[in-house]
Amino acid sequence: MTASLAAGVVPIDTNFRAALERMRQRGRLQAYTAQADPYLEVAGIMKRLDGGPALLFTNVRGHDVPVLGNFLAAQENCEAAFGVDFATIRSFVGRALAGPIAPVSVTNAPVHERIVTTGIDIGRLFPVLHHTAADSGRFITAGVVVTRDLDTGVYNASYHRLQLGDGNHAAIQLDFGRHLRVAWERAKARGEALPIAICIGTDVALQYAAATMGSQLPETLDELAVAGGLSGRALEIVDAVTQPLHVPAHSEIVIEGRILPNQTVREGPFGEFVGYLSAVGDAPVVEITAVTHRARPIYHAINGYGRETVMLRKYVLEASLLKVLQAAVPIVVDAEMTAGGLHRFHAVVQVRKSSKQQDGFQRNAILAAFGALKDLDLVIVVDDDIDIRNPADVEYALATRMEASRDLITIPGARGHEYVRIGNAGIRTKLGIDATVPFEERERFARCQFSPVDVRPEDLSFDAEVLRVNLRED
């Protein structure tokens, strides 16, 4: 059941162009004006400047469509795009899961300013990148794939890479267990193609909804409505021109088509988010039936092995994790999906014990975390005096509060992510580390406290004469 706008919910304009304007105003969007080639060069520049401000490539060789890269590749970019801090972004994810808002149909759709239904050639229309020299071709990487399950009628939105084929065909990567693959397999069993729409440069709330995964977003939940709940206002949609689907009205580009039921082609390799090339395999074929776009569209591209790929899921995974942990283990205060763990495989959980009877709950939190997010392979639990967003402080907890003979918890033969090569097709041992202290020993582990003081910038100096006078020996 979807909800209307709840009392007290402040809506935010999460349209793609509105997000870019907020980023421009906050200095988190910069133009790259030299000519850049979509074959290897644009992706190479994106990787070189990864984690910095978003890049708008204004002079792309062979195309008059600019390319946006590194869009949500850093916390500062995400905060600028939404106009709020990261904690509020996480709260938006929480309200999306708790109160989805049904989309609303409109007639004025910028994405329908240009409509192409004949002579379709995606590679000619848009500067689709060839990311690394080892990739098998040009890949659409930032497309949110929207479909409506033929059996359930529920809308799904998710990220899937597409390798360009000839003009109006592409191969789509469908990982096992993902909702889109399930919907395609159901359509295939009926002998039917599955209608899809690939939305590029779409509403940021929908981008976040598409990145949500796990038990907090079941197959029965409409992700167009989840996007509305995240932004606090209904997502504006319009009918697709050739497929029986609704699409976001303010997208930059929408590629309409259908996943054929019984046709596959070889797909890959491609540089994936774990830093390795994906394996070559058979992938279903998408037949493209229409392309609609703004009069002057922006093409959004994501490097597979880049910060944006993992940052997209950081806040949605943290929000999902906290929802489970705080319901199951009340002493949990906060959680951080760490950068070194690609914001997916490692988590640091902060707990606050208020009595001796709460000792042990930190280990319950470790087990609950693994149950909440299957891809987690390492969970470290620390006390509330540890800054979980400071890797040095977390390592301090490991160095001074963890005893390996008793504080390591291993769960052999557990399911993780199949892309992690050290495992066996996704099976590996998960590790929990208890770096907390017993409640009654808090004082013994208390750190030294210095007096709080203010330091004025004018009291500090690099003046050579001041330093020389005070360093002289006479």
* pLDDT per residue as tens digits for the range 140-199: 999 999 999 999 999 999 999 999 998 899 999 998 778 899 999 999 999 999 999 999
Q: Band the pLDDT of 3: cuts 50, 70, 90.
A: very low
Q: What is the pLDDT of residue 1?
A: 33
Query: What is the SS3 string spanning 85-105?
Result: CHHHHHHHHHHHHHCCCCCEE
The pLDDT > 90 percentage for the chain reads: 79
Q: What is the structure's pLDDT at 447?
A: 92
Burial (0-12, 13-18, 19+ Cβ within 10 Å), 345: buried
Three-state DSSP class for residue 291: strand
Nearest to 236 by CA among 252, 225, 222: 225
Q: 346, 378 in Cβ contact below 8 A?
A: yes
Question: How sure is the predictor about 5, in pLDDT bands with cuts at 50, 70 and 90?
Answer: very low
The dihedral of CA 265, 132, 312, 104: what is its sign?
negative
Grade residue 8 by pLDDT with cuts at 50, 70 and 90: low
Mean pLDDT of the chain: 93
* 269 Cα distance to chain centroid: 22
Distance separating alpha carbons of residues 16 and 88, to the nearest angstrom:
19
pLDDT higher at 229 or 420: 229
Any residues with CB less than 8 A from the CB of 278 and at least 6 apart, and which?
Answer: 173, 268, 269, 270, 271, 272, 419
What is the helix, strand, coil percentage profile of the chain, to 5? 30, 25, 45
Give the CA distances from residue 88 to residues 12, 216, 226, in Å, rounded to whole numbers and listed in that order.
12, 18, 16
Tell me which amino acid residue 138 is: R
CA distance 138 to 131: 7
CA distance 266 to 281: 5
**Does residue 436 carry a pLDDT above 60?**
yes
Neighbours of 442 (CB within 10 A): 13
- The single-letter code of the amino acid at 327 is A
Closest to 78 (Cα-Cα) out of 26, 10, 145, 156 = 26
**% of the chain residues with pLDDT over 70:** 97
Helical segments of 290-332, H only = 307-328
Tokens at 23, concatenated: 């980023």
For the ranges 67-81, 393-407, 458-472, the lowest mean pLDDT is seen at: 458-472
**Coil, helix or strand at residue 314:** helix
Q: What is the pLDDT of residues 309-359, one digit of tens each?
A: 888 889 888 988 998 999 999 999 999 999 999 989 999 999 999 999 999
pLDDT number for residue 443? 93
> What is the pLDDT, as a whole number, of residue 173?
92
pLDDT over threshold 50, residue 6: no
**387 burial class (0-12, 13-18, 19+ CB within 10 angstroms)?**
middle
Binned at pLDDT 50, 70 and 90, residue 216 comes out as low
Q: Measured between alpha carbons, how far is 418 from 281 in angstroms, rounded to an integer? A: 14
* 392-399 own/partner pairs: CB under 8 Å, 24+ apart: 394/348, 394/435, 397/435, 398/433, 398/435
Q: Is the pLDDT of residue 374 over 80?
A: yes
Residue range(s) of every CATH 3.40.1670.10 domain in the chain:
329-441
Are the CB atoms for 430 and 416 separated by under 8 Å? Answer: yes
Q: Do 353 and 436 contact (CB within 8 A), yes or no?
A: yes
Confidence band of 299 (pLDDT split at 50, 70, 90): very high
CA distances from 422 to 37, 404, 414, 415 (A): 35, 22, 13, 13
Residue 157 pairs in a beta bridge with 146
Q: Does domain 16-307 have CATH number 2.30.110.10?
A: yes
Regarding the domain with residue range 329-441, which homologous superfamily does it belong to in the CATH classification? UbiD C-terminal domain-like (3.40.1670.10)
pTM of the complete model: 0.88
Amino acid code (one letter) for 445: F
Predicted confidence band at 232 (pLDDT cuts at 50, 70, 90)?
A: very high
Burial of 412 (0-12, 13-18, 19+ CB in 10 A): exposed
Task: Please state, in angstroms and as integers, the Cα–Cα distance from residue 122 to each residue in 112, 148, 227, following that order.
Answer: 17, 23, 27
Q: Which of 320, 351, 317, 327 is nearest to 432 (CA)?
A: 351
Measured CA to CA, the distance from residue 89 to residue 79 in angstroms comes to 8
Omega cis (within 30) before 269:
yes
What's the whole-number mean pLDDT along residues 275-299? 94
- Please tell me the distance from the alpha carbon of residue 381 to that of residue 408, in angstroms, as a whole number: 11
**Which regions of the chain carry the CATH code 2.30.110.10?**
16-307
> Among all chains, which residue has been given the structure tokens 């509060």?
401
Q: Which backbone phi and psi does 238 adopt, to 5 degrees?
A: -145, 155
In single-letter form, the type of residue at position 157 comes to: A
pLDDT band at 468 (very low <50, low <70, confident <90, very high): confident
Residue with tokens 């490539």: 57
Q: What is residue 312's predicted lDDT score, i.e. its pLDDT?
A: 86
Whether the pLDDT of residue 215 is over 60: the answer is no
Place 308 in a pLDDT band, splitting at 50, 70 and 90.
very high
Q: What's residue 213's pLDDT? A: 59
Residue 85 token pair: 């801090």
